[in-house]
C-alpha cells in the first residue's frame, strides 16, 4: 500500500492506450456496422473472457498504432487451450505492418509448440503499402504466415472467423484454414477490390457480388458457414471446435449420448420409389444424437451434405447424398466439397459415415468441360486414402461411380451396410434395359408387346441386382432394418475405435487435381 | 423481374404452374427429369409468373431460364 511509483504510472498509461485501440471515430464506425471491438470479441470467445497476450507493446513508440493492429492471445475455449490472432480494425483498418506480421508468425509458432488449435479472427484491409519492404517479401514477411498455415494444416485445427474484409494476399488466411465462418453483410474476401477491378480490367461490380459472404458460401465455396452476427460466428465456431482434438495425435472427445430427435422413422422417410426425392436431413436426424449436427458448407453444392455429428456421444463425419437437391447427383462442386471434408475428418481422427442414395456423377457437356472426371477422381482419392474408420451405408440407390465415391466395397470400408431399400448397380433398371436392348425394343412394333418386353427385362434386371443376392455373394457385408441402423452404427463406431492402418512408405500420392 | 434457372441439365417432366399464377416461396414450379431422377424446381421467392420458357419434353441445360417472374 505504498504511493504509486512513477514507472507504474507510465506502464498504466501505455497499457490504457493499447487497450483502447484506435481513434474513437473508428469505434463509432464499427458500432454502426454491428461489429464488435477486437477485445470484446476475445472476451466472448475465451472461457470466462480470460487470456494471456503477447506483444501488447508492439509499435508502441509510433503512438497511433496500438498493438500494431493485432491482438495475439492464448486462452481456453470449451476448456481446451487455443491460440488466437485477432485484427483490430480500429487501427489503420486492421492493416498489416511488419510488427503485425511478426506477431501473427509468433502466435502460430506458439500454437505449433503447444500443439493447440489456431484461430484467426480476421478483419483487415491488407498490407500497409507504405511498409511493404518491412512486411511483404522477406523471410519473416507475410508470406511466412501462409507457409506456416500450410505446415500446420492437419497438425492442429485452424479456424477462420471472418468479421470484415480479407483482402488481396490476406485472403489466403481463410483459404488455408480448415473452415471459414463469414458474417453476412460485413465479411468479404477478394484478391482485388471492386475499385481495382474497375481500374485494371474494366469490370463494374459490387463488393457483395464479387466477394461477399453469401456469394462465397453459396457459389465459390471459399466460405463454409454463413452467419448473421459476430456473436453467432463465435458460438458456432466453439461448437465446431468441440468436435476436434487439440492436435492430430489425440482423438476427439466423447461426450454424453443423447436420444435422437423426435420425428418420423427411417421407414416413413425413405420412399420405395427409387426416383422420388426425400429429405436426407430428416434421415440424418433419425440416426444422430439430437441437436448435434454441424453443417459444413450447407449452402454450397447442397446435393451432397457434409457435416459433423455425434452418434451415442461419439464424433462422426457424415457424407450424405441429398436426393431433394439435383436428385443427389454428384457434380464438380459436390466432389470438391466432399474432398475437403473427408480430408478434414481423416486428419483429426473423426470416423466417416457415408449415406448413399446416388444416381451417379452428372453427365453432359457442361460438366465434362468443367473436368468432372478429375474432380470425381479427387473425391475418390481422398475417400480411398482416408485411414479413419469408414462406414458405408447404402440407403437407396448407389449407381455407377457413385458407389465408388460413397466408399463402396472396393474401397475398404470397415463395413458396407445395406438397408432393405438398397439398390447397387452400374446403372438403374430403366437405363440398363435401354442400354442393352434398345435395338430390340425399337424393333417391336406393337406398343403393348414392347411395353411387356421392357417390363420383363426390368423384372429380370431387378432380380439380378436384388440386395439379398449381393449379400449372398458377400458383396455387401450386412443388411440392416432401418429401425436398427442407429444402434448398429453406434456399436460399430465403438468397436472400430482402435482401427489402425499403416500405408506403404512413399513420399505422398500424386493428387488428381 | 427475377428469373428461375435450371439447376442441372435435363428434360422437363412436368410444368406445374401457368402464366399469371401467383406462387409462394418454395412452391414447385417445374419438375425436371435428369439422370433418371425427378428434380423439383422450387420458386426461391413468392411472385407472379410472367413467362414460362420450356415445355414438357424440352431439353434444358444448367443455367437456362425456366420461368420469369413479374
Amino acid A272: pLDDT: 84
Region for residue A362 given its phi and psi (left: phi exceeds 0; alpha: psi -120 to 50; beta: otherwise): beta
User: Among A271, A279, A322, A327, which would you mutate to test the B interface (most chain B Cβ atoms within 10 Å of its Cβ)?
Assistant: A327
Asked whether the beta carbons of residue B35 and residue A325 sit closer than 8 angstroms, the reply is no
Asked whether the beta carbons of residue B36 and residue A430 sit closer than 8 angstroms, the reply is yes
Partner residue facing A326 (CB), from B7, B36, B61: B7
Q: Which residues contact B4 (CB under 8 A, 6 or more apart)?
A: B29, B41, B43, B44, B65, B66, B67, B68, B69
Contacts of B36 in chain A (CB under 8 A): 275, 359, 428, 430-431
Q: How confident is the model at residue A435 (pLDDT cuts 50, 70, 90)?
A: confident
3-state secondary structure of A96: strand
Does the CB of B22 have a partner CB in chain A at under 8 Å?
no
Report the pLDDT averaged over residues A324-332.
Answer: 95
Amino acid B2: pLDDT: 81
Partner residue facing A329 (CB), from B8, B40, B61: B8
Amino acid A3: pLDDT: 64
Give yes or no for residue A341 having a pLDDT over 80: yes
Give yes or no for residue B36 having a pLDDT over 90: no
Q: Which of A63, A66, A130, A73 is nearest to A97 (CA)?
A: A130
Give yes or no for residue A113 having a pLDDT over 70: yes
Asked whether the beta carbons of residue B8 and residue A331 sit closer than 8 angstroms, the reply is yes
Asked whether the beta carbons of residue A362 and residue B35 sit closer than 8 angstroms, the reply is yes
DSSP structure class, residue A440? H
User: Which segments within A114-221 are labelled E, that is strand?
Assistant: 118-124, 158-167, 179-183, 188-190
Contacts of A363 in chain B (CB under 8 A): 35
Q: Which residues contact B58 (CB under 8 A, 6 or more apart)?
A: B11, B12
Asked whether the beta carbons of residue A359 and residue B8 sit closer than 8 angstroms, the reply is no
pLDDT tens-digit series, residues A117-129: 999 999 999 999 8
Partner residue facing B38 (CB), from A276, A325, A362: A276
Q: How confident is the model at residue B1 (pLDDT cuts 50, 70, 90)?
A: low
Angstrom CA distances, A210 to A141, A194, A200, A407, stand at 28, 8, 15, 36
The whole-angstrom distance between A444's CA and the closest CA on chain B is 23
Amino acid A275: pLDDT: 85
Phi then psi dihedrals of residue A115, to 5 deg: 55, 50
Q: Which of A102, A86, A90, A98 is nearest to A46 (CA)?
A: A86
Partner residue facing A359 (CB), from B9, B37, B61: B37
d(CA A455, CA A345): 44
Q: How confident is the model at residue A333 (pLDDT cuts 50, 70, 90)?
A: very high
Phi then psi dihedrals of residue A500, to 5 deg: -140, 130
DSSP structure class, residue A360? -
Contacts of B62 in chain A (CB under 8 A): 366
pLDDT tens-digit series, residues A146-184: 999 999 999 999 999 999 999 887 889 999 999 999 999
Q: Which of A48, A50, A62 is nearest to A18 (CA)?
A: A62
3-state secondary structure of A183: strand
Amino acid B23: pLDDT: 95
Q: How confident is the model at residue A512 (pLDDT cuts 50, 70, 90)?
A: very high
Give yes or no for residue A2 having a pLDDT over 70: no
If one counts the domains in chain B, the total is 1
d(CA B68, CA A223): 29
Count other Cβ atoms within 10 Å, centred on residue A61: 7
Give the nearest chain B residue to A359 (CA atoms). B35
Contacts of B42 in chain A (CB under 8 A): none
Report the pLDDT averaged over residues A395-416.
Answer: 97
Asked whether the beta carbons of residue B35 and residue A331 sit closer than 8 angstroms, the reply is no
Percent of chain A scoring above 90 in pLDDT = 91
Q: State which residues form the domain around B42.
A: 3-69
Is A305 or A63 the better-scoring residue by pLDDT? A305
Give yes or no for residue A1 having a pLDDT over 80: no
pLDDT tens-digit series, residues A68-83: 999 999 999 999 999 9
Regarding an ipTM greater than 0.90, the answer is: no
Report the pLDDT averaged over residues A353-378.
Answer: 96
Are A170 and A145 a contacting pair, CB within 8 Å? no
Report the pLDDT averaged over residues A246-264.
Answer: 97
- For the full predicted model, state whether its pTM sits above 0.90: yes
Angstrom CA distances, A470 to A280, A286, A390, A419, A429, stand at 24, 26, 20, 12, 16
User: Among B31, B33, B36, which would you mutate to test the A interface (most chain A Cβ atoms within 10 Å of its Cβ)?
Assistant: B36
Contacts of B40 in chain A (CB under 8 A): 277, 324
pLDDT tens-digit series, residues A270-283: 998 888 889 999 99
Amino acid A233: pLDDT: 98
Amino acid A149: pLDDT: 98
Q: How confident is the model at residue A431 (pLDDT cuts 50, 70, 90)?
A: confident
CATH (domain of B32): 2.40.50.100
Does the CB of B18 have a partner CB in chain A at under 8 Å?
no
Are A86 and A53 a contacting pair, CB within 8 Å? no
Report the pLDDT averaged over residues A41-54.
Answer: 98
Asked whether the beta carbons of residue A428 and residue B61 sit closer than 8 angstroms, the reply is no
d(CA A204, CA A150): 34
DSSP structure class, residue A33? T
Amino acid at each position: 500500500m505504498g504511493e504509486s511509483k512513477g514507472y507504474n504510472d507510465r506502464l498504466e498509461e501505455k497499457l490504457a492506450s493499447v487497450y483502447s485501440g484506435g481513434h474513437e471515430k473508428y469505434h463509432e464506425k464499427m458500432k454502426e456496422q454491428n461489429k464488435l471491438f477486437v477485445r470484446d470479441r476475445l472476451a466472448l470467445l475465451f472461457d470466462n473472457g480470460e487470456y494471456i497476450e503477447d506483444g501488447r507493446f508492439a509499435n508502441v513508440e509510433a503512438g497511433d498504432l496500438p498493438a500494431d493492429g493485432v491482438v495475439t492471445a492464448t486462452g481456453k475455449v470449451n476448456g481446451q487451450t487455443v491460440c488466437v490472432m485477432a485484427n483490430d480494425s480500429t487501427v489503420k483498418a486492421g492493416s498489416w505492418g511488419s510488427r503485425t506480421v511478426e506477431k501473427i508468425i509468433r502466435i502460430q509458432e506458439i500454437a505449433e509448440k503447444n500443439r493447440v488449435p489456431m484461430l484467426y479472427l480476421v478483419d483487415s484491409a491488407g498490407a500497409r503499402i507504405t511498409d511493404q519492404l518491412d512486411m511483404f517479401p522477406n523471410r519473416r514477411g507475410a508470406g511466412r504466415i501462409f507457409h506456416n498455415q500450410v505446415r500446420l494444416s492437419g497438425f492442429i485445427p485452424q479456424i477462420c472467423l471472418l468479421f470484415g474484409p480479407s483482402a488481396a494476399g490476406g485472403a489466403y488466411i481463410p483459404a488455408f484454414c480448415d473452415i471459414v465462418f463469414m458474417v453476412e453483410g460485413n465479411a468479404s474476401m477478394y484478391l482485388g477490390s471492386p475499385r481495382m477491378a474497375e481500374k485494371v480490367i474494366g469490370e463494374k461490380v459490387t463488393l457483395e457480388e464479387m466477394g461477399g459472404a453469401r456469394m462465397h458460401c453459396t457459389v465459390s465455396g471459399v466460405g463454409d458457414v454463413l452467419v448473421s452476427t459476430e456473436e453467432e460466428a463465435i458460438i458456432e465456431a466453439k461448437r465446431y471446435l468441440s468436435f476436434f482434438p487439440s492436435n492430430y495425435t489425440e482423438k476427439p472427445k466423447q461426450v454424453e449420448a443423447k436420444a435422437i430427435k423426435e420425428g418420423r422413422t427411417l421407414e416413413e422417410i425413405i420412399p420405395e420409389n427409387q426416383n422420388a426425392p426425400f429429405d436426407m436431413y430428416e434421415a440424418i436426424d433419425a440416426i444422430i444424437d439430437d441437436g448435434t449436427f454441424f453443417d459444413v458448407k450447407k449452402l454450397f453444392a447442397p446435393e451432397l451434405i457434409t457435416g459433423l455429428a455425434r452418434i451415442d456421444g461419439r464424433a462422426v463425419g457424415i457424407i450424405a447424398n441429398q436426393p431433394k437437391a439435383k436428385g443427389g447427383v454428384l457434380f464438380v462442386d459436390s466432389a470438391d466439397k466432399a474432398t475437403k471434408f473427408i480430408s478434414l475428418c481423416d486428419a483429426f481422427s473423426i470416423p466417416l459415415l457415408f449415406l448413399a442414395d446416388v444416381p451417379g456423377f452428372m453427365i453432359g457437356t457442361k460438366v465434362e468441360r468443367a473436368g468432372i472426371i478429375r474432380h470425381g477422381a479427387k473425391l475418390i482419392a481422398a475417400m480411398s486414402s482416408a485411414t479413419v474408420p469408414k462406414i458405408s451405408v447404402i440407403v437407396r440407390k448407389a449407381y455407377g461411380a457413385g458407389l465408388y465415391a460413397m466408399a463402396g466395397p472396393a474401397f475398404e470400408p470397415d463395413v458396407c451396410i445395406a438397408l432393405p431399400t438398397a439398390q447397387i448397380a452400374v446403372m438403374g433398371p430403366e437405363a440398363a434395359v435401354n442400354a442393352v436392348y434398345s435395338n430390340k425394343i425399337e424393333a417391336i412394333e406393337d406398343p403393348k408387346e414392347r411395353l411387356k418386353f421392357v417390363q420383363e427385362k426390368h423384372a429380370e434386371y431387378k432380380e439380378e441386382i436384388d440386395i439379398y443376392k449381393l449379400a449372398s455373394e458377400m458383396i455387401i457385408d450386412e443388411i440392416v432394418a432401418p429401425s436398427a441402423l442407429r444402434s448398429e452404427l453406434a456399436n460399430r463406431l465403438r468397436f472400430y475405435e482402435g482401427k489402425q492402418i499403416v500405408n506403404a512408405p512413399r513420399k505422398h500420392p500424386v493428387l488428381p487435381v | 423481374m427475377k428469373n428461375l434457372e435450371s439447376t442441372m441439365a435435363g428434360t422437363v417432366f412436368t410444368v406445374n404452374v401457368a402464366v399469371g399464377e401467383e406462387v409462394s416461396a418454395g412452391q414447385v414450379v417445374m419438375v425436371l427429369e435428369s439422370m433418371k431422377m425427378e428434380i423439383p424446381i422450387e420458386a426461391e421467392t413468392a411472385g407472379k409468373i410472367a413467362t414460362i420458357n420450356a415445355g414438357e419434353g424440352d431439353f434444358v441445360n444448367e443455367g437456362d431460364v425456366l420461368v420469369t417472374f413479374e
